[in-house]
């Protein structure tokens, strides 16, 4: 019986360790993606949580380090009696939180596994239910887990893991993710990823109609609304999405210049390389890199504007005007695009994407050039 308990505890420890390491690793590959996801949650919750937005980067670093450190310690059987309690505490927080998210749907996916594996909110909750059960079993059987390491070796493993994870995060932050799981990765043909198949399932809505009679409002459906009955006065129509239809991987890629012209297909169909400098937020952009941006796109850039390239931003009019006054050589380059799309395109501010015939042929962080 004792041996069986040891085996069960070992299985739980290994499964939890693998999940923690994988979850932390895919986040470490793309730490800015984790920051953006935390910001999305804070904005969706609103109120007091929006005051915590400046702490999003710190929260991302702590979360990634915690997951990797817990996972490695579990896999290597380091302080399992402690890490089992930490794992249980982690999922005791995350399980009810993901249940709330699944019910209210403030953000479409949790980002638990970055962009590597996208889960729905209900799938995430189900995953956490399974993992908290494993954590409970491990806590109950923790005395049947026998340590492989003792004393200073445990500290060495923990320190090396934490420093290695932090160094890896710093590298990907200063450059770009080593693995790109998003639709704008190098080699992808963007127009293909924007297409809707002929048999694509459309969104399904439920409609209701509100009519008024004698000062009283009543809601009707398509089947029973008072068609042709002049005693009822139409007030409003309501619609509710009951089934999400097909959505192509790229669906919000639209580039508009200062004159309001849509340049999207001019850029996607250009046979010459087009340089797009992405600055999703002009105020947050690294100003130390503007000299490099000016050399790319400014007055020194040769040829027509399409050949020279553009700045893409999600900033508002006031921010664009302020930026144009500060960097007049770049004022003609600025176009607008959805800020969420820009964050997806490249994890840098500023970052560069080069397109030719709609294909992403290059992508880099400006600070690395």
| CATH number (domain holding residue 319) | 3.40.30.10
Same-domain check for residues 235 and 281:
no
Task: Assign residue 315 a region (left: φ > 0; alpha: ψ between -120 and 50; beta: otherwise).
Answer: beta
Same-domain check for residues 158 and 232:
no
Per the structure block, which two tokens stand in for 79?
Answer: 């302080």
pLDDT value of residue 9: 84
> Would 183 be classed as within a structural domain?
no
In degrees rounded to 5, what are phi and psi of residue 118? -95, 120
Same-domain check for residues 97 and 156:
yes
> Would 291 be classed as within a structural domain?
yes
The CA distances from residue 195 to 125, 132, 250, 266, 337, in Å, are 32, 40, 8, 17, 19
> Angle 283-289-290 (CA atoms, 0-180°, nearest 5)?
70
Same-domain check for residues 236 and 90:
no
pLDDT value of residue 300: 46
Same-domain check for residues 314 and 229:
no
pLDDT value of residue 294: 86
pLDDT value of residue 142: 78
pLDDT value of residue 151: 72
Same-domain check for residues 280 and 157:
no
Same-domain check for residues 217 and 313:
no
Q: Is 112:124 a contact under the CB 8 Å cutoff? A: yes
Same-domain check for residues 212 and 296:
no
Q: How many whole angstroms separate alpha carbon 74 and alpha carbon 189? A: 42
> Would 7 be classed as within a structural domain?
yes
Per the structure block, which two tokens stand in for 63?
Answer: 């979360």
Same-domain check for residues 100 and 212:
no
SS (HEC) of 83-143: HHHHHHHHHHHHHHHHHHHHHHCCCCECCCECCCECCEHHHHHHHHHHHHHHHHHHHHCHH
In degrees rounded to 5, what are phi and psi of residue 328? -60, -30
> Would 254 be classed as within a structural domain?
no
> Would 190 be classed as within a structural domain?
no
Per the structure block, which two tokens stand in for 331?
Answer: 């004022």
> Would 196 be classed as within a structural domain?
no
| Listed residues 155, 174, 193: the one ending a domain | 174
> Would 180 be classed as within a structural domain?
no
Instruction: Quote the domain boundaries for residue 299.
Output: 264-368
Count Cβ neighbours within 10 Å for each residue of 215-253 and write b for 16 or more, e otherwise.
eeeeeeeeeebeeeeeebeeeeeeeeeeeeeeeeebeeb
User: Which H or E element spans position 195?
Assistant: none
Q: How many whole angstroms separate alpha carbon 25 and alpha carbon 164? A: 11
Q: Percentages helix, strand, coil for the chain, rounded to the nearest 5? A: 50, 15, 30
Instruction: Give 116's contacts (C-beta < 8 A, 6+ positions apart).
Output: 26, 29, 179, 181
DSSP 301-320: --S-HHHH-EEEE---HHHH
Q: Is 261:241 a contact under the CB 8 Å cutoff? A: no
Same-domain check for residues 66 and 128:
yes
Same-domain check for residues 73 and 211:
no
Helices 80-104, 121-140: crossing angle, 10 deg rounding: 160
3-state secondary structure of 237: strand
Same-domain check for residues 146 and 272:
no
pLDDT in tens, the chain (369 residues): 778 888 888 889 899 999 999 999 999 999 988 898 888 888 888 788 888 888 988 999 999 999 999 999 888 888 887 888 999 999 999 999 889 888 887 777 777 887 888 888 889 899 999 999 999 999 888 787 777 777 778 788 888 999 999 999 989 888 888 888 899 999 999 999 998 888 878 888 888 899 988 888 888 887 888 877 888 888 888 888 777 778 888 988 999 998 889 999 999 999 888 999 999 999 988 889 888 888 888 644 555 555 568 999 999 999 999 998 988 888 888 999 999 999 999 999 899 999 999 999 999 998 887
362 DSSP assignment = E
Helices (H), 195-288: 264-268
> Would 218 be classed as within a structural domain?
yes
Q: How many domains does the chain have?
A: 3
Instruction: Give 182's contacts (C-beta < 8 A, 6+ positions apart).
Output: 115, 344, 345
């Amino acid at each position: 019986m004792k041996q069986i308990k040891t085996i069960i505890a070992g299985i739980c420890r290994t499964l939890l360790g693998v999940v923690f390491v994988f979850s932390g690793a895919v986040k470490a590959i793309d730490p800015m993606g984790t920051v953006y996801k935390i910001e999305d949650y804070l904005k969706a919750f609103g109120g007091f949580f929006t005051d915590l937005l400046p702490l999003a980067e710190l929260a991302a670093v702590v979360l990634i380090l915690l997951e990797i450190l817990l996972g490695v310690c579990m896999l290597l059987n380091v302080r399992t009696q402690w890490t089992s309690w930490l794992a249980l505490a982690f999922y005791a927080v995350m399980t009810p939180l993901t249940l709330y998210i699944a019910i209210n749907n403030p953000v479409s996916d949790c980002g638990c596994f970055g962009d590597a594996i996208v889960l729905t909110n209900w799938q995430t909750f189900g995953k956490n239910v399974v993992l908290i059960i494993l954590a409970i079993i491990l806590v109950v059987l923790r005395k049947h887990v026998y340590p492989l390491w003792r004393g200073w070796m445990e500290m060495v493993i923990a320190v090396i893991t934490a420093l290695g994870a932090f160094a890896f995060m710093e590298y990907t932050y200063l450059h770009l993710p080593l693995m790109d799981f998003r639709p704008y990765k190098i080699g992808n043909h963007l127009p293909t990823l924007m297409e809707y198949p002929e048999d694509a399932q459309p969104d399904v809505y439920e409609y209701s109609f509100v009519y008024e009679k004698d000062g009283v409002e009543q809601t009707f459906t398509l089947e029973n609304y008072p068609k042709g009955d002049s005693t009822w006065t139409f007030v409003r129509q309501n619609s509710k999405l009951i089934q999400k239809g097909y959505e192509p991987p790229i669906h919000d890629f639209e580039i508009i210049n200062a004159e309001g012209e849509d340049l999207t297909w001019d850029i996607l169909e250009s046979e010459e390389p087009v340089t797009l400098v992405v600055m999703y937020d002009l105020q947050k952009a690294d100003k130390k890199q503007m000299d490099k941006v000016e050399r790319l796109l400014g007055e020194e850039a040769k040829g027509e504007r399409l050949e020279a390239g553009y700045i893409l931003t999600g900033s508002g009019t006031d921010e664009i005007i302020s930026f144009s006054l500060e960097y007049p050589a770049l004022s003609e380059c600025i176009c607008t695009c959805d800020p969420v799309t820009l964050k997806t395109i490249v994890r840098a501010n500023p970052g560069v994407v080069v397109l030719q015939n709609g294909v992403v042929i290059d992508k880099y962080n400006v600070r690395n050039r």
